[in-house]
Amino acid sequence: MTTEPDHVTVPRTRVGLVAGGLGAYWPQFPDLLPQLQRSAARVSERMRALGCDVVDAGFVSDAQEGDAAAEKLREAGCDIIVGFLTTYMTATMLVPVAQRTGAPVLLINLQPTESMDHETFDTGQWLAYCGACPLPEMANAFMRVGIPFRSVSGYLEDERAWTKIGRWVKAAGVRAALRRGRHGLMGHLYPGMLDVATDLTLVSANFGGHVEVLEFDDLRVRVEKVTDSEIKGRMDLARDVFELADTVNDDDFSWAARVSVGLDRLVDDFGLDSLAYYHRGLDGEVHERLGAGMILGASLLTARGVPAVGEYELRTSLAMLIMDRLGGGGSFTEFQALDFARGHVEMGHDGPAHLAISSRRPLLRGLGVYHGKRGWGVSVEFDVTHGPVTAFGLIQKRDGTFGFVASEGEVVGGPLLKIGNTTSRVDFGCDPGEWTDAWSATGISHHWALGTGHRIAELRALADLLAIDLTEPLVGDHAPC
């Protein structure tokens, strides 16, 4: 695509960092503390290189200094606490930090190099490599006081370890986005879709955040105030972003542009991070036309990082938000067909799409009818970028908890429908019928997000921080699909 809408500004993850060691060592081994402090400075530097804001509480040597660090990090409102175990230290130095901040805890044990020089090291030099020693003690103490934790062990320049640390930091940022998120729900449920119905209280219970219940009239009054110059500007933007099929009607295009500007105002006025909508309407009246005119504006919003989806699919708009914040885009998706001849699952949707993950310049196609919905107008058509992808959705369980469902595959080439839908062929590495049965058996709804990249490791980290389950569909005798 030649132009991509600017992504919304996402607040940076705030990491609270505290390093420590046992103060009794310092007078015994004078060179030890300066070496550990240099390691702590390097960790702080590498943490900032992950693109986060670091609140560094310094180096603690006893319980009193741990208490001061706890107060500093509590006041900072961190998204995750990272405790750097530089050498042996007692649990009482870190447990209060975790208790007072209320943020997820990551313990890291990064020794100076890959291995000690066993022939020349004395006790003081060995102790700089002893960060693993307190890890079981911390684990025991954290479990007994009821605070979840996770850990990463390695050495200072261990890229494997830093990849895992980066994954936890990214997951903490997504968790924070959910906790402060504002999610619009406009209109009403598509009649009969029991799977789509979501208990709004459960969003706050499982993720935090707020669901703003909106009327289509909230959109109508904003659309009515859109000026001709704003419509022209939005049409010019659309021409830059999309290839226009010859089926695009000027009146429908102009209306979609008007609705798009109104949607932007709605999102800004209510401070929304996501939007799910549906309205049936009757006989071409304004609410029906609003519902039918949403796809252009919703796709542009989704590309900016404000997922906007049809059919009142709140849980899928949340899944798309998560995928976007992980860097995978995330487009509104459902089953379309199974291609047993090629071994592919065909999936996509009419309606809003994440333009940033299109394999080519997306097409804007004019439609005389939306299947199963009232209205007519323009719709978006493209194939997701070929390569690794993750199908990801949320389930609402019978006990009131949410869960993640995810499966990694690859978008591949092949014939695609030309009906104004996003359509992709996904190879999950097994018979498409077996995968479809396993995916459906998880309890997923008939919509989900399709994002680029293999994201299950990142989603598993986020699920851990949210204390919810992540399910990967299995087939046969519990073997991965």
pLDDT digits (tens, 9 = 90+) for 75-131: 999 999 999 999 999 999 999 999 999 999 999 999 999 999 999 999 999 999 999
**CA-to-CA separations, 300 to 23, 57, 89, 354, in angstroms, rounded:** 56, 41, 52, 8
pLDDT for 368: 67
Count the neighbouring beta carbons within 10 Å of the beta carbon of residue 396.
21
Distance CA 173, CA 13 (A): 5
> How are strands ordered across the β-sheet holding 274-278?
210-214, 182-187, 274-278, 308-309
The tally of CA atoms less than 13 A away on the side-chain side of residue 198 is 31
| 299, two tokens | 């796709």
- Coil, helix or strand at residue 188: coil
Q: What's the pTM?
A: 0.94
As a CATH number, domain 181-480 is 3.20.14
pLDDT in tens, 13-50: 999 999 999 999 999 999 999 999 999 999 999 999 99
**Cβ neighbours of residue 392 closer than 8 Å, sequence gap 6 or more:** 319, 322, 323, 330, 404, 405, 406, 448, 449, 450, 451, 455, 459
> How are strands ordered across the β-sheet holding 363-367?
243-244, 363-367, 377-381
Distance CA 308, CA 267 (A): 10
Residues of the chain with pLDDT under 70: 1-4, 368-376, 474-481
pLDDT for 477: 42
Does 14-174 match 181-480 in CATH topology? no
**Cβ neighbours of residue 125 closer than 8 Å, sequence gap 6 or more:** 116, 117
CATH class of 14-174: alpha beta
- Coil, helix or strand at residue 3: coil
What are the sequence ranges of the domains in the chain?
14-174, 181-480
